[in-house]
Structure 1
């Protein structure tokens, strides 16, 4: 299948070799990044998932954990194995995307759709950073292909597989719920296919979808529905306390322009509007195939766009919607705009390559790939200097997860000082076993201005320890220049 895809792309785009050459260069850079790029905190956090197998986890379902467990079992517990897992799954997604786009487009436009998808930074993120979105997009794409075959080609057996893959999409990330929602919406709006809502095959698919969800529901039932509450009630509560803020909306436009590349994003938004306007926004009049594609684009992208006026939307939440968005506009996007898209994408990937290789602009955030290996080495040395101590951090999950990847033993998170710690609240959670022990507290200082010790933290640490002593900070250097700083505290007698 993959050979056919490559052969087809080559045959159909002989007249546009420059676009193929630039996209090939982008792909080569991505492959190079696997071996050059250090672990992002997300890599480490979902590796932490994988080292503690469970039916599900606090903030996300389990599929990413199972994939990383499989690859680290094969290739060892290292960063390259994690990124190989992401890249392999993303390659499968790309092949499936070609098959899906071929259902709706002519041969040439299918190749064009694949080139557009491969030009995005979205694919780079999916193939280099371990997140639940990586398996989500694979299962999402496969589900849409199977649903197309079941609905438009009357291949009834495909309903069974579609029910399973939609369930796996939900087991990858809760955003997967937009798949069955989009399916129901399409069937409700489609005069031609509405009768399938009462077909036996549709309800078999629905039943299988629910069966595949059972591990996630069982975990939630056993843990007071903690994950469902976190991803629904807590986020809705946070959003309800916010006011209308244009800056969130412009933030959404900014990071979506980055991951999709502006030329493609503008094209998608423009032609989706043109298509809707052509049919006077009467969805009942839309051709069935266009309606199908829009039902898996508009609900997800529209919902998060509306929410962005009140709440900060993360850059990866809209990703699944772009799959059908790209297919929908591939016919309409001009060769000129496609060239602009690919040229800008290649430029951004070259800039990213320079940043990875030379790190000329240190990132003043824990969301970076640089410095974690060195931190692991220095914390390992500290543990030898201060034996019989446990290690913890309190910057969300990031430093704790990285230290669990980069060092032996277990690194605790901010639950040590009574704060919510995501999945760390559910692994080695009996803190009574630590009572009376001493600890090393590692505190990331991403916006440091000097290499000196800093003032002791607030009384919060002293509420949990008898005494706290600041040690020499850990400084991570690049070509002699300090680029990262971690404060270190020796805490005595955990209470």
Structure 2
């Protein structure tokens, strides 16, 4: 372990500097919709969940379980730590497959690329565990299937490979990747594809260790299988088909123009100076593989290079290219193909290590400076309204009105907590009620984050898009009880319309008060509160 932790000073600088930078952003950035929702996972611990496996609950809960403090920073602590370890693993993988210079460049690329350090390293999400176990799988596979760069003059048909215990560890790592996010199944399929198509590594598929690997992988999946068997396999049905049914995308034909648009959006999130080169490195390696098919390698060194790149491609291309192509059928999140692009950074780093030093340094410095500047502007805008018009901290008087600014949808839970604390009548009503509900799953999550330190009443969501709330529902026990209903002014045309939606569910519902949230000294959102008397019946969710 001590040897494994011996990194060059420059690597430690990237790891610790990146951790510090991401920690500051994690502290100040309001939680996103999904982040607040994953916080609820950590409050409702279960074998699995409607839309994701359970590891997201553990990584999100780690910080506030340890500290007892519910805040944006604490729910992101797991993401901060796991991403740092993931980069360290990626460095070790690069050194084994290539050399020290490539390892250092890999760390630099992973630390600078915005899509990676935001989606994997700041925001709490299933991707935090996925990218850690994905990288661990890649590292173990490299050590198992790619020999050290010795015996360069041996014939390429030399086959001295003997399957080892690492195959069992690979099976466990793949299982835990699946327990983080269902993308892990694609990782496992890619690994099997590599072994099946590679003459040297094919021995692994007939080894007794493969049985152990399958057993450990299945053992890791037990929580997901137990929960889904109890809920009519709804997670798999949702992920594979139900989430797309009834949407405009379901009837939309495949469009190559949409693929191009999806690809360009992904490049933008990677940052163009990184994104275009990541995809160029992928294409370059695919061409090299095609050349090896036409002209097989002659020496062991050439075969090692072919197998090394093939391993990376088999674990990366299916998800990177597959989800990009899916964008031709329906909108996708940029984070969906990102795990595959994460692996391609190894190929980009190896390519960049061959450039002239001045070119490589100029690329990293200019990219880093541009990314840091844009990140600072974005951070200051989201937190204090740097580009907001009007605002106390607006740059040049501001450029965008709060009503036209999507970033105002992020709720500052710390501000909401302080505003409720200062509103004594509302706080008293919240503490005296039997339960609290909202009409959006993400809003209930925000409210829980903000109010949980102040009160103990159950907080739920009455909505036809309830996500996990449909499985955490206890409204059958609340019939005849009273509630406080909270909603956002931006979701409704009027106070009366917001109340009318739930009037049939209660004996009476009446306005209780409101809370105004500000950014840069200007109102950006209003929270309406209602007193709802005597729930008439359990709320009817669309599932399970």
Whether the TM-score (by the shorter chain) exceeds 0.5 is: yes
Q: Structure 1 residues 393, 366: CA separation in 2 closer, same or farther (over 3 Å shift)?
A: farther
1:118 aligns with 2:111: yes
Superposed, which structure 2 residues align to 1:27-106 within 5 Å? 27-79=19-71, 80-106=73-99
The answer for the alignment partner of 1:439 in structure 2 is: 483
How far does the alpha carbon of each residue in 1:180-220 deviate from its partner, in whole angstroms, 9 at most, with x for none? 10111111221332232222222321221112111110111
Q: CA deviation at 1:59?
A: 1.0
The answer for the alignment partner of 1:17 in structure 2 is: none
**C-alpha distance in 2 between matches for 1:40 and 1:279:** 41
Q: Structure 1 residues 412, 219: CA separation in 2 closer, same or farther (over 3 Å shift)?
A: same
Q: CA deviation at 1:312?
A: 1.1
**C-alpha distance in 2 between matches for 1:2 and 1:365:** 44
1:426 aligns with 2:453: no
Q: 1:311 aligns with which of 309, 313, 330?
A: 330
Runs of 5+ consecutive residues of structure 2 not aligned to the other structure: 148-161, 297-304, 389-401, 537-544
The answer for the alignment partner of 1:166 in structure 2 is: 174
The answer for the alignment partner of 1:456 in structure 2 is: 497
1:207 aligns with 2:215: yes
Q: CA deviation at 1:466?
A: 3.4
Q: 2:372 aligns with which of 346, 350, 366?
A: 346
Which one has more relative contact order, counting CA pairs under 8 Å at least 6 apart?
Answer: 1
Bigger Cα displacement from structure 2, 319-328 vs 109-118 = 319-328
Q: Structure 1 residues 140, 478: CA separation in 2 closer, same or farther (over 3 Å shift)?
A: same
The answer for the alignment partner of 2:313 in structure 1 is: 294
Q: CA deviation at 1:413?
A: 3.9
Q: Secondary structure at the match of 1:127?
A: coil
Q: Secondary structure at the match of 2:183?
A: helix
**C-alpha distance in 2 between matches for 1:479 and 1:172:** 37
Q: How many residues align?
A: 478
Q: Secondary structure at the match of 2:332?
A: coil
The answer for the alignment partner of 1:486 in structure 2 is: 527
The answer for the alignment partner of 1:4 in structure 2 is: 6
CA RMSD of aligned residues (A): 2.9
How far does the alpha carbon of each residue in 1:396-437 deviate from its partner, in whole angstroms, 9 at most, with x for none? x211011112213345444x35x241111111x231222223
* 2:433/2:482 contact within 8 Å kept: yes
Q: Structure 1 residues 409, 348: CA separation in 2 closer, same or farther (over 3 Å shift)?
A: same
* 2:289/2:310 contact within 8 Å kept: no
Superposed, which structure 2 residues align to 1:344-493 within 5 Å? 344-360=370-386, 361=388, 364-365=405-406, 369-379=410-420, 381=423, 382-385=426-429, 387-395=432-440, 397-407=441-451, 408-414=455-461, 416=462, 419-427=464-472, 429-446=473-490, 454-457=495-498, 459-493=500-534
Q: CA deviation at 1:116?
A: 0.5
Q: CA deviation at 1:114?
A: 0.8
Q: Structure 1 residues 254, 48: CA separation in 2 closer, same or farther (over 3 Å shift)?
A: same
The answer for the alignment partner of 2:139 in structure 1 is: 145
**C-alpha distance in 1 between matches for 2:336 and 2:104:** 26
Q: Structure 1 residues 217, 283: CA separation in 2 closer, same or farther (over 3 Å shift)?
A: farther
**C-alpha distance in 1 between matches for 2:474 and 2:19:** 46
The answer for the alignment partner of 2:153 in structure 1 is: none
Q: CA deviation at 1:459?
A: 4.9
**C-alpha distance in 1 between matches for 2:203 and 2:409:** 51
Bigger Cα displacement from structure 2, 40-49 vs 161-170 = 40-49
Q: CA deviation at 1:44?
A: 2.5
Q: 1:267 aligns with which of 277, 297, 301?
A: 277
Q: Scaled by the length of structure 1, what TM-score is found?
A: 0.87
**C-alpha distance in 1 between matches for 2:9 and 2:52:** 38
Bigger Cα displacement from structure 2, 474-483 vs 93-102 = 474-483
How far does the alpha carbon of each residue in 1:40-93 deviate from its partner, in whole angstroms, 9 at most, with x for none? 333322221112221111111111212333432322232232222221111111
Q: CA deviation at 1:232?
A: 1.3
Runs of 5+ consecutive residues of structure 1 not aligned to the other structure: 11-19
Q: CA deviation at 1:246?
A: 6.3
* 1:26/1:346 contact within 8 Å kept: no
Q: Structure 1 residues 264, 24: CA separation in 2 closer, same or farther (over 3 Å shift)?
A: farther
* 1:89/1:138 contact within 8 Å kept: yes
Bigger Cα displacement from structure 2, 89-98 vs 381-390 = 381-390
The answer for the alignment partner of 1:136 in structure 2 is: 130
Q: Scaled by the length of structure 2, what TM-score is found?
A: 0.80
Q: CA deviation at 1:454?
A: 4.0
Q: CA deviation at 1:378?
A: 4.3
How far does the alpha carbon of each residue in 1:448-468 deviate from its partner, in whole angstroms, 9 at most, with x for none? 9xxx95442385422322333
Q: Structure 1 residues 368, 255: CA separation in 2 closer, same or farther (over 3 Å shift)?
A: farther
